[in-house]
């Protein structure tokens, strides 16, 4: 009760100060929206997870440029494509800062300035450069093999109707891959799960909005919400305990293989600009700063991509015609799939260069990102000097955000926007063939912005697109995917760190070429092959044919196998 009283009084005082500060340059007003007090009360009485419908209501009431204050500063929300382009591309320098937070140093929270530039350039040129990304193709192949094997193992033919909850496997695959790129080591399943646990604990609780109040009023929040602050510190310590030994081992035994340059190797050698460096560390990143950077790398590249992968696969399950069309394209380029091999055996997978010859695959991935962007808003940007947009004042220090999902769903820009139609990326509105060659950066015009746009655009977009194309193509090549009998495919959403499937995809999978290995009916488990052959020789065909016809069901023709 006391806490609430203090919050309401603080909000009133803040409202008074704010109206003095932000309304000072009279004449132009802020974009329309609810009052400062009602915005913050809405925020405090609703979970951050429910914010999206509230903002959408405000958009229909006030239009595409809204003021919805969060904390002390006004927050502006933009829902219009050309306004987003005007702000992020044409006036990028003014809108590319970030609000101050209590987060440790990393790229996404760094102010727009020399340290951000250095950290971002390091990631872009040392890890995400196409030649470095290519040098990790062996790692993608290794993880893909594990993923295919895990799916194959979990697929229980006897209970095939139950389907597989695939998202856990997708998350594990993306985590294993990014952990390898981050620390340069092939870790065991237990270690990977431990890293995933500390990362997710932090993400889920931050995503739930439990710490929003600490971001809104950092100094006051630490005093008023001491338990939350302690909980935040505890999560940070847990993460440090797991990640610091991995970082230290790479410092103590530096990498000598130029083929395996991990993200952490590049961070060890970085020198921050003098004014920004932590005192006494000679310009180098501290252990805690390295944890923050590695943690950002893992968060940014795993949850987003596995979420997008699940949405895309869900749509391919829901639309068998699109799945068949994609499979046909893949087969035209690389031929029919081999039977899945055991993990130790070499197995051919789709070569990454061949992905370039699959325009429909690219269209499927883009359509997935348009219809289900993992982030429905970008990270908040901060305005560095007062500017005018559409006749409204956007004051210095205001935060600005963008309705990412709504831009991809805008009926003025997209026909049947809520339908999953990859064909829209094969041809543009003027009838020109674009064959999946859409510009996601939005530099010439923003039609959708799943990776943001402008100077703060996601630096991992090319890597993410490669991962999505590679995994979708191989998963469709190896298996035919159908809906689970009990669950179907429900495309309802739920907000976590990203916007995930409320009811995760449960899919039944059928190896497209399974005659080579581990058939759905395991002979050896039931009779033993030798015993079976003996029985056949002795005329026991009747008994055998009841349970095994001598032919494995063909998933493309056998109705039981569907
Ligand atoms: C499907 C996958 C992904 C999606 C949808 C996605 C989306 C986004 C979005 C919306 C932003 C915020 C842009 C803004 O604030 O304007 C962002 C920022 C960022 N992303 Fe991604 N991302 C993905 C994958 C990745 C990957 C694979 C990496 C790196 C390994 C990465 C690293 C980053 C970083 C470091 C930032 C902060 C950029 C900055 O503040 O300058 N992301 N991403």
Question: pLDDT tier at 558 (50, 70, 90 boundaries)?
Answer: very low
**Position 531 pLDDT exceeds 90:** no
Q: How far is the CA of 451 from the centre of ligand 1 (A)?
A: 6
Residue 394 corresponds to which tokens in the numbers above? 């956007």
Residue 45 corresponds to which tokens in the numbers above? 């009485």
**Position 554 pLDDT exceeds 50:** no
Question: pLDDT tens digit string along 257-304?
Answer: 777 799 999 999 898 876 677 766 778 999 999 999 999 999 999 999
Q: Flag the least confident range among 58-72, 187-201, 484-498, 520-534.
A: 520-534
Residue 553's pLDDT is what? 28
CA dihedral 106, 112, 118, 120 (to 10 degrees): 60
d(CA 469, CA 490): 23
Question: How many residues in the chain?
Answer: 562
Question: pLDDT tier at 209 (50, 70, 90 boundaries)?
Answer: low
Verify whether ligand 1 is closer than 6 Å to residue 375 (CB atom): yes
Helices and strands counted in the chain (H then E): 21, 11
**Position 515 pLDDT exceeds 50:** no
Q: What is the mean pLDDT of residues 408-436?
A: 91
Percent of the chain with pLDDT over 70: 79
Q: How far is the CA of 373 from the centre of ligand 1 (A)?
A: 12
Residue 462's pLDDT is what? 97
Q: Flag the least confident range among 307-321, 341-355, 534-548.
A: 534-548
Print burial letters for 462-489: b (CB count within 10 Å at least 16), e (below 16). Answer: bbbbbbbbbbbbbbbbbbbbbbbeeeeb
Which range is most confident: 8-12, 48-52, 150-154, 398-402? 398-402
Query: Ligand 1, atom 17: nearest CA belongs to which residue?
Result: 458
Q: What is the mean pLDDT of residues 384-396?
A: 95
Sign of CA dihedral 457, 460, 462, 465: negative
Residue 269's pLDDT is what? 86
Q: How far is the CA of 423 from the centre of ligand 1 (A)?
A: 26
Q: What is the mean pLDDT of residues 146-171?
A: 82
Residue 136's pLDDT is what? 94
Q: What is the 3-state secondary structure (H, E, C) of 369-399?
A: HHHCCCCCECCCEECCCCEEECCEEECCCCE
Report the residue among 123, 451, 455, 456 best suited for mutation to probe ligand 1: largest number of ligand atoms under 8 A from its CB: 451
Please count the other Cβ atoms lying within 10 Å of the Cβ belonging to residue 99.
Answer: 21
Verify whether ligand 1 is closer than 6 Å to residue 309 (CB atom): no
Q: What is the mean pLDDT of residues 415-425?
A: 97
Verify whether ligand 1 is closer than 6 Å to residue 109 (CB atom): no
Report the residue among 401, 458, 461, 468 best suited for mutation to probe ligand 1: largest number of ligand atoms under 8 A from its CB: 458
Verify whether ligand 1 is closer than 6 Å to residue 450 (CB atom): yes
**Position 315 pLDDT exceeds 60:** yes
420 vs 348: which has the higher pLDDT? 420
**Position 90 pLDDT exceeds 80:** yes
Verify whether ligand 1 is closer than 6 Å to residue 99 (CB atom): no
Residue 216's pLDDT is what? 64
Q: What is the mean pLDDT of residues 453-474?
A: 98
Placement of tokens 């909850």 in the chain: 165
Verify whether ligand 1 is closer than 6 Å to residue 458 (CB atom): yes
Q: Flag the least confident range among 21-25, 310-314, 455-459.
A: 21-25
Q: Which atom of ligand 1 is nearest to the CA of 178?
A: 30
ipTM exceeding 0.90, yes/no: yes
**Position 524 pLDDT exceeds 60:** no
Residue 217's pLDDT is what? 66
Question: pLDDT tier at 432 (50, 70, 90 boundaries)?
Answer: confident
Placement of tokens 């004042």 in the chain: 393
Verify whether ligand 1 is closer than 6 Å to residue 108 (CB atom): yes
Q: What is the mean pLDDT of residues 384-398?
A: 95
Residue 545's pLDDT is what? 29
231 vs 500: which has the higher pLDDT? 500
Residue 448 corresponds to which tokens in the numbers above? 């959708």
Verify whether ligand 1 is closer than 6 Å to residue 380 (CB atom): no
**Position 527 pLDDT exceeds 50:** no
Q: What is the mean pLDDT of residues 341-348?
A: 58
Question: pLDDT tier at 1 (50, 70, 90 boundaries)?
Answer: very low
Question: pLDDT tier at 25 (50, 70, 90 boundaries)?
Answer: very low
Q: Of the candidates 56, 3, 68, which has an alpha carbon nearest to the alpha carbon of residue 32?
A: 68
Question: pLDDT tens digit string along 119-157?
Answer: 999 999 999 999 999 999 999 999 999 999 899 888 766
**Position 208 pLDDT exceeds 70:** no
Q: Of the candidates 21, 28, 1, which has an alpha carbon nearest to the alpha carbon of residue 69?
A: 21
Residue 317's pLDDT is what? 97
Q: Flag the least confident range among 78-92, 311-325, 449-463, 520-534.
A: 520-534
Query: Ligand 1, atom 1: nearest CA belongs to which residue?
Result: 305
**Position 349 pLDDT exceeds 50:** yes
Percent of the chain with pLDDT over 90: 60
CB distance 295 to 497 below 8 Å: no
Verify whether ligand 1 is closer than 6 Å to residue 451 (CB atom): yes
H helical segments located in 262-388 = 263-268, 287-318, 320-334, 359-371
Residue 70's pLDDT is what? 73
Q: How far is the CA of 160 from the centre of ligand 1 (A)?
A: 37
Taking all residues of the chain, what is their mean pLDDT, rounded to a whole number?
Answer: 83
Q: What is the mean pLDDT of residues 48-76?
A: 88
Q: Flag the least confident range among 24-33, 106-115, 311-320, 393-402.
A: 24-33
Q: How far is the CA of 457 from the centre of ligand 1 (A)?
A: 7
Q: Of the candidates 460, 433, 302, which has an alpha carbon nearest to the alpha carbon of residue 362?
A: 433
H helical segments located in 184-225 = 189-207, 212-216, 218-224
Verify whether ligand 1 is closer than 6 Å to residue 456 (CB atom): yes
Q: What is the mean pLDDT of residues 52-74?
A: 90
**Position 514 pLDDT exceeds 70:** no
Q: Quote the pTM value.
A: 0.86
Q: Of the candidates 313, 302, 249, which has an alpha carbon nearest to the alpha carbon of residue 489?
A: 313
Q: How far is the CA of 325 from the centre of ligand 1 (A)?
A: 30
């Amino acid at each position: 009760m006391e806490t609430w009283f203090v919050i309401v009084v603080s909000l009133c005082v803040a409202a008074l100060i704010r109206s003095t500060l932000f309304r000072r340059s009279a004449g132009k007003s802020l974009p329309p929206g609810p009052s400062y007090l009602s915005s913050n009360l809405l925020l405090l009485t609703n979970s951050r997870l429910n914010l999206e419908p509230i903002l959408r209501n405000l958009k229909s009431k006030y239009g595409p440029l809204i003021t919805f204050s969060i904390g002390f500063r006004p927050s502006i929300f933009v829902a219009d494509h050309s306004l987003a382009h005007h702000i992020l591309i044409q006036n990028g320098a003014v809108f590319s800062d970030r609000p101050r937070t209590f987060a440790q140093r990393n790229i996404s929270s760094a102010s727009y300035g020399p340290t951000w530039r250095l950290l971002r350039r390091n990631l872009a040129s040392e890890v995400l450069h196409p030649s470095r990304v290519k040098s990790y193709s062996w790692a993608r192949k290794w993880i893909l093999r594990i993923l295919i094997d895990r799916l194959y193992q979990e697929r229980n033919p006897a209970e095939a109707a139950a389907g597989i909850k695939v998202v856990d496997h997708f998350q594990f695959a993306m985590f294993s891959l990014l952990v390898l790129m981050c620390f340069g080591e092939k870790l065991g399943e237990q270690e990977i799960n431990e890293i995933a646990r500390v990362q997710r604990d932090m993400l889920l609780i931050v995503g739930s909005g439990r710490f929003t109040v600490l971001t809104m009023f950092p100094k006051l929040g630490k005093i008023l919400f001491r338990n939350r602050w302690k909980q935040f510190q505890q999560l940070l310590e847990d993460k440090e305990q797991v990640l610091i030994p991995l970082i230290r081992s790479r410092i103590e035994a530096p990498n000598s293989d130029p083929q395996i340059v991990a993200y952490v190797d590049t961070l060890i050698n970085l020198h921050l600009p003098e004014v920004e460096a932590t005192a006494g560390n000679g310009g180098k990143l501290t252990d805690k700063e390295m944890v923050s950077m590695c943690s950002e790398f893992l968060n940014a590249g795993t949850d987003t991509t596995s979420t997008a992968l699940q949405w895309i696969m869900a749509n391919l399950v829901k639309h068998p015609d699109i799945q068949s069309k994609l499979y046909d394209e893949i087969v035209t380029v690389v031929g029919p799939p081999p039977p899945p091999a055991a993990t130790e055996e070499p197995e051919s997978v789709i070569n990454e260069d061949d992905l370039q010859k699959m325009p429909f695959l690219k269209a499927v991935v883009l359509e997935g990102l348009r219809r289900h962007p993992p982030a429905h808003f970008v990270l908040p940007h901060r305005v560095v000097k007062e500017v005018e947009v559409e006749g409204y004042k956007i004051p210095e220090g205001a935060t600005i955000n963008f309705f990412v999902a709504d831009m991809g769903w805008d009926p003025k820009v997209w026909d049947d926007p809520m339908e999953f139609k990859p064909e829209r990326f094969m041809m543009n509105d003027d009838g020109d063939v674009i064959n999946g060659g859409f510009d996601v950066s939005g530099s010439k015009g923003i039609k959708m912005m799943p990776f943001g746009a402008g100077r703060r655009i996601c630096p991992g977009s090319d890597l993410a697109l490669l991962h999505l194309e590679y995994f979708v193509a191989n998963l469709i090549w190896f298996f035919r995917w159908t809906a689970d009998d009990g669950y179907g495919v429900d495309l309802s959403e739920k907000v976590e760190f990203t916007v995930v499937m409320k009811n995760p995809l449960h899919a039944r999978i059928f190896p497209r070429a399974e005659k080579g290995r581990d058939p759905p009916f395991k002979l050896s488990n039931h009779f033993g092959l030798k015993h079976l052959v003996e029985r056949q020789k002795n005329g026991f065909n009747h008994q055998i044919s009841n349970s095994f016809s001598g032919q494995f069901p063909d998933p493309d023709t056998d109705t039981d196998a569907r």
